[in-house]
Amino acid sequence: MKQYSFYSIILLVLFSCNNTNNKSSQSESNTLIYPQEVHFENMKQLTFGGENAEAYWSFDDSKLIFQATNEKWGQSCDQIYIIDTNNYNLNNEMPKMVSLGLGRTTCSYFMPGDSTIIYASTHLEDAKCPHVPERRVNGKYVWPIYDSYDIFIADLDGNIVSQLTDTPGYDAEATVSPTGDKIVFTSIRSGDLELYTCNIDGSEIRQVTNQLGYDGGAFFSHDGKKLVFRASRPKNKEEIEEYKELLSNGLVQPTKMEIYICNVDGSNLRQVTNLGDANWSPFFHPSNEKIIFCSNHESIMGFPFNLYMIDIDGNNLEQITYDEKFASFPVFSNDGKKITFSSNRNNGGTRNTNVFIANWKE
């Protein structure tokens, strides 16, 4: 689920379609990569202004689905859009919106066959954007957990074809197994924020996690056998009371989270990181032996957030990006050759967050 503070809009004209500018586009892509970022090649910018995040690949790697708030596109809170992976013209055109334009949406993903999508939306409760609570409670940064989120499946024209969840409270953060047989999502139906899986048609819902704390942002390994996710684990009395009080008010505090993995049925649960601060947005490396994720554990004042990679046994931590403010939501293409992520780089000093795509180099 997208959770961050990125505002304002800037129009950055970086790329064009004509052959005359192809060489300059190549040169521009080199300037997008910082010298220390040895795993990136031929980086390109996909979006230009606003808040853009959680770009996920279609099964055939030809398209990306992402969520964005961009008032130039006529929307005041997150909606879902689809773009061809070779379209670098969003500085002067609007992508296809595939959500309803009602309420707030999040966590979109392609379904098997690439003819339908899954995402969460608040539109059943209210067609307007839900109220955004204060970002800090008692001086601490918090995320809203809207109880009006439910999960829907829609076609590529934006028509909802089915509703996956209908229980009271928060249901969101759904992603789909690369093997095409299961969905994982976060729900508060037990009274706490836990992971659940179901079949691709929504049947056989099973609880995966059961420890106190926020379990979310889960993704399947490329073979569909494991899950990686972020989790908070309040331990002492004060932390537990604070967590429960915030949750009762539809809030969570994301500043202390670590990365965990488990089998799809919840067995063999183990903590991968023990870095402190906020470690989140994990995704399996194509080998299934490493995890790429976002962290601010080296930051003094909360920022910057950067991408790191670590072995699934918690060894060999490696920094991947060197953003001055923010980089997150890393996702490998299904063929393992490319990666997308969101970043504040190249935003002209604004708070705009854009989606970038690059070739991945081992």
Residue 83, domain CATH? 2.120.10.30
Confidence of residue 345 (pLDDT cuts 50, 70, 90): very high
Taking residues 28-55, what's their average pLDDT? 92
Q: What distance in Å separates the CA atoms of residue 318 and residue 107, rounded to the nearest whole number?
A: 27
The 10s digit of each residue's pLDDT in 134-180 is: 778 877 889 999 999 999 999 999 999 999 999 999 999 999 999 99
DSSP-assigned letters across all residues of 227-275: EEEEE----SHHHHHHHHHHHHTTEE-TTSBEEEEEETTS-S-EE----
Average pLDDT of span 319-323: 97
356 within some domain: yes
Taking residues 111-131, report their average pLDDT: 95
Q: Are 343 and 354 in contact (CB under 8 A)?
A: yes
Identify the domain containing residue 67 by its residue range: 19-360
Which residues 6+ apart lie within 8 Å of 197 measured at CB? 182, 183, 184, 185, 205, 206, 208, 264, 265
Total domain count, the chain: 1
Residue 162 lies in a domain: yes
Residue type at position 44: K
| Rg of the chain, C-alpha, whole Å | 19
- Asked whether residue 7 is domain-assigned, the answer is no
pLDDT in tens, 265-290: 999 999 999 999 999 999 999 999 99
Is 22 a residue whose pLDDT tops 50?
Answer: no
**Would you place residue 29 in the very low, low, confident or very high pLDDT band (cuts 50, 70, 90)?**
low
Q: State the pLDDT confidence band at 182, using cuts at 50, 70 and 90.
A: very high
3-state secondary structure of 27: helix
Q: How far is CA 286 from CA 224, 282, 336, in A?
A: 12, 13, 5
Whether 10 is covered by a domain: the verdict is no
Taking the model in full, what pTM does it have? 0.90
Residue 13 lies in a domain: no
Is the residue at 8 inside a domain?
Answer: no
Q: What is the pLDDT of residues 54-70, one digit of tens each?
A: 999 999 999 999 999 99
Helix H or strand E segment including 220: strand 215-220
Q: Are 169 and 147 in contact (CB under 8 A)?
A: yes
In a domain, 12, yes or no: no
Is the per-residue pLDDT at 333 higher than 50? yes
Is residue 157 included in any domain, yes or no? yes
Calpha distance 162→151 (Å, rounded)? 9
- Asked whether residue 11 carries a pLDDT value surpassing 50, the answer given is no
Q: What pLDDT shows up at residue 13?
A: 26
Q: Specify the pLDDT at position 138.
A: 79
356, 344 Cβ separation under 8 angstroms: no
d(CA 175, CA 216): 11
Helix (H) and strand (E) counts in the chain? 2, 28
Dist CA 85 CA 320 (whole Å):
22
Q: Please state, in angstroms and rounded to a whole number, the distance separating the CA atoms of residues 103 and 130.
A: 7
